[in-house]
Amino acid sequence: MDLFYSSTRSSEVKVKASEAILKGLADDGGLFAPERIPAMDKSLKELAAMDYKQVAYEVMKLFLTDFTEEELRSCIDKAYDSKFDTDEIAPLVKADGAYYLELFHGATIAFKDMALSILPHLLTTSARKNNVKNDIVILTATSGDTGKAALAGFADVPGTKIIVFYPKNGVSPIQEKQMVTQKGDNTFVVGIKGNFDDAQTGVKNMFNNKELAQTLDAAGFQFSSANSINIGRLVPQIVYYVYAYTRLLGDGEIAADETINVVVPTGNFGNILAAYYAKNMGLPIGRLICASNENKVLYDFFESGTYDKNREFVLTTSPSMDILISSNLERLIYKIAGMDAKANKKFMDSLKTDGKYSITDDMKKELADFYGNYASEAETAGIIKAIYEDTGYVIDTHTAVAAKVYKKYVQDTKDTTKAVIASTASPFKFTRSVMDAIDKAKYDAMSDFELVDELSKIANVVVPQAIEDIRTAPVRHDRVCDKTEMEATVRDILGV
């Protein structure tokens, strides 16, 4: 049965999956949401006998119903290949009384690789299906991590180019090195003299520039974004949870139909929303445990029913979760408002004007599947050290937030249902914070690369290729422009 997507802000919009992927965001500013959550049509036992790619196909085909089998399998094959350093793509590791689902074995050793590896192929396939002849130009402003993951995903994908702007003096030296060494003839990385907001404003202005769009069209190009609200990034994430569950089943760790809990370190609410969709597809998930760092706007929301972004923004050691507006939460609000676009729009308008909104009591009841909590900076460091000392397993700072919140959950609820913790980054990506947590006095004076070698030794894990690349790879991008010259730079790159 065909599945359509409608806007979370108006009921008139109804598009196919490929159109939703191409557009990213609905014209009314809403997100595309599936008009229903499809039920799984293979048994968990059947899925347990499949590998990651096969499970991905079985899940994604139910959401991307206008893709042919051949198209979808081709996208999956191109995405989940030797770019990942393990055959399992997402290995499950048992440690400290939980199962860690390692989502960081891709090109940039963080979980955004999982979706950004396949998005370029979903996007170019969607373009073909909708008779778009232009090359797709991905335009992104980044404060570090997403830019690199997008570059790695789009590098050398035929029919695409990617241009990434970053604040020249506003990212870490390692993040900059990762981006400026990016391979691929279709990749372009530009440092701007300005901050992240300048970069983002510049990109937004180009997206809204009709004259520029016409010039591009005449030259055979059109802009698109790799934004995390695209359903082409959301749907591939549902696979994680179906895969994790069926591995547990296949390995005899759980009985048939046994319920599991999942714990997700959360920022933009994409990953945990995918887990919620998996539950709604029929996967036996009990509680969805939403873990925040000190930017605990989601914890407060689950406690009180009021989402309030009016607060101080805290810089933490889990920077990918330093977010005050969790964009993907809108899809949950829409769903628990009974898919009432008008009601949802009211909440979002109020978020825009007042920075907050409060949901109704009936909606609050719909949140019983969720449990929210947060970990302070000291708790995050403490749990990294404790798990390392007890088990030898080393986790990154984001995963540590989830590990700590899971402990709080068990303490609060006495619920000892088996739990899968989404492990969203390799500890090698946040080496300094991780090593400081383990023994600051010992490691404080060491250089970043000394720490990498030390981590490899104590964790007994080889240094990932992504880190070796930064050590040795030559710089391939040295463009710098003023924040007022971004459009001119894009024109220059594209020759228009």
Ligand X SMILES: *Cc1c(COP(=O)(O)O)cnc(C)c1O
Rank residues 143 and 424 by Cβ distance to ligand X and give the closer one: 424
CB 268, min distance to ligand X, A: 3
DSSP one-letter code for 110: B
Query: Among residues 98, 110, 249, 435, which is the contact residue for ligand X, using CB under 6 A?
Result: 110
Rank residues 18 and 143 by Cβ distance to ligand X and give the closer one: 143
CB 262, min distance to ligand X, A: 13
Which residue stretches of 49-172 are H helix? 52-63, 69-79, 112-116, 119-129, 145-154
DSSP one-letter code for 428: G
Query: Among residues 34, 267, 372, 427, which is the contact residue for ligand X, using CB under 6 A?
Result: 267
Query: Among residues 270, 372, 427, 464, which is the contact residue for ligand X, using CB under 6 A?
Result: 270
292: nearest Cα among 405, 179, 188: 405
Distances (CA, A) of 271 to 288, 363, 424: 11, 21, 10
CB 25, min distance to ligand X, A: 16
Rank residues 227 and 280 by Cβ distance to ligand X and give the closer one: 227
The 301-340 contact track toward ligand X, x by CB under 6 A, reads -------------------xx-------------------
Q: Is 112 a catalytic residue?
A: yes
What's the residue count for the chain?
496
Residue 265 within binding range of ligand X, rule CB under 6 A:
yes
Distances (CA, A) of 274 to 59, 125, 160, 288: 11, 22, 27, 10
180: nearest Cα among 172, 170, 191: 191
Residue 143 within binding range of ligand X, rule CB under 6 A:
no
Rank residues 400 and 451 by Cβ distance to ligand X and give the closer one: 400
Planar angle of CA 437, 442, 444, nearest 5 degrees: 70
Binding segment for ligand X among 33-41, 117-125, 174-182, 263-271 (CB under 6 A)?
263-271
Residue 112 within binding range of ligand X, rule CB under 6 A:
yes
Whole-angstrom Cα distance, residue 17 to residue 54? 20
DSSP one-letter code for 307: E
Whole-angstrom Cα distance, residue 260 to residue 442? 39
Query: Among residues 113, 145, 294, 436, which is the contact residue for ligand X, using CB under 6 A?
Result: 145
Catalytic residue among 16, 83, 112, 335: 112
**Which contiguous run of DSSP H or E holds residue 415?**
none
The 357-396 contact track toward ligand X, x by CB under 6 A, reads ----------------------------------------
**Which contiguous run of DSSP H or E holds residue 463?**
none
Question: Beta strands 221-224 and 135-141: pairing type?
Answer: parallel
> What letter represents residue 193's amino acid?
K
Residue with tokens 């609905």, as numbered in its chain:
26
Binding segment for ligand X among 31-39, 70-78, 267-275, 375-383 (CB under 6 A)?
267-275
Number of other CB atoms surrounding residue 329 within 10 Å: 24
Query: Among residues 148, 161, 279, 398, which is the contact residue for ligand X, using CB under 6 A?
Result: 398
Rank residues 198 and 396 by Cβ distance to ligand X and give the closer one: 396
| Contacts to ligand X by CB under 6 A | 110-112, 145, 265-271, 320-321, 398, 424-425
Active site residues: 112
